[in-house]
Amino acid sequence: MNILFIHEVDWQKKVIFDMHEFAESLSILGHSVYVIDYQDTWKRDNWLDFGYLRTKDIPNSQRVYKDASVFLIRPGFLKITVLDRLSAMVTHYFEIQRTIKKFKIDAIILYSVPTNGLQTVLFARKYKVPVVFRSIDSLHGLVKPKILSGITLFFEKIVYRNVDYIVALTPKLADYVITLGADKKRVKLLLFGVDTTKFHPAIDTSALKETLHIGTKDKIILFMGTFFDFSGLDLFIQQFPMVLKEIPEAKLVLVGGGPLYEHIKTLIQKLNLSDNVIITGFQPFELMPEYINLADLCINPFQINETTIDIIPGKIYQYLACAKPVLATPLLGMKELLPDEKSGIFYSDIDDFPKNIITILRDEKLLKTVGDNGYEQCIENNEKWNVVKQLENILKNND
């Protein structure tokens, strides 16, 4: 099949997630895979760099697997605030139509709405190409300011009503798209897939521990991912001295970066936590299993709001695949799929994180039992190729 992925983030710079895994895995299975993206984190190369309107093609692109091959298509846009998205909406309009015709696209997997969702639905219908929407977020909740969030919500309703299928990451997200007008019969659950040949417990971390100056007696708490405003990391760092008071050998390892990065660095210095908090910045994807295997306990202290309540971050399954227990705030999207310690997850309000971390880290047997529970859950339900095959079958049945 000729399969087209469409999103509105930078394929080459975005932290590796669901879209990269699916696109590259389908290419390994023998499909011709194309990706249309938008460089949402653009910067000017110089003061005369106002962008471009032509399309740039990057064949044989890959982020996750060396034997994958994705044909990346980048419509032009103007590097001028406000006009960047508006110009992209126009260039994507023409490029989506051109790509469907030129590469004889058999199916489209759509991740986005405001920049290119309506264009996708329009041309897919014109050329009778089925569209599967991948729902991993409440999209309008990610958009600021409020007026743009409202416009995005309006577009979401149109897109959800006009695609052929919606594959939702969680049951709560399935409910969400149905409330916005999606046909219940065309909404399916498709879990996050983990490559268990890469993410597993049997990984040697001795060299990394030496690099990060982690001792044999240290208790490691780990967070991996983007430091979003809603990540809760700033709140937890302010609480971390409470953990150190009871467990002085505790160390917090933060792998990633993002909007809160500089604020978190400032907090670490202000609270004199430099000896006990290691902040690495973004690291190559291939090193993620090694970083996770440093941990005694992984955390997800996300604040619960409209943006986060229905989701489950993909890193949760990567933690579980490495047999690491997780302490998380009770996001409804998570609790519905991973309800309790039998699934590898401890739940706690953010205010109670220090107390619960102290209790958990002091109980080695509990750490191992809950970690093993999560590993078994992940192996049973989230093995990558099983999930990819499910998506492939949905695409073939629509072809």
| pLDDT at residue 258 in the model | 92
**Residue corresponding to tokens 């009871």:** 246
pTM of this prediction?
0.92
| pLDDT at residue 40 in the model | 93
Please name the residue ranges forming H helices in the chain.
18-28, 83-102, 117-126, 146-162, 171-179, 206-211, 233-246, 261-270, 288-292, 314-321, 332-337, 353-361, 364-381, 384-398
DSSP state of 303: P
Fold: same for 2-193+384-398 and 206-381: yes
Residue ranges of the chain whose pLDDT lies below 50: 399
* Cβ–Cβ under 8 Å, residues 134 and 19: yes
Each residue's pLDDT tens digit, 99-144: 999 999 999 999 999 999 999 999 999 999 999 999 998 888 777 7
Tell me the Ramachandran region of residue 24: left when phi exceeds 0, alpha when psi lies from -120 to 50, beta otherwise. alpha
CATH superfamily of 2-193+384-398: Glycogen Phosphorylase B; (3.40.50.2000)
Domain parsing of the chain, residue ranges: 2-193+384-398, 206-381
**206-381 placed in CATH 3.40.50.2000:** yes
The helix/strand/coil state of 38 is coil
| pLDDT at residue 398 in the model | 64
Report the candidate in 278, 298, 293, 299 with the shortest Cα–Cα distance to residue 350.
Answer: 299
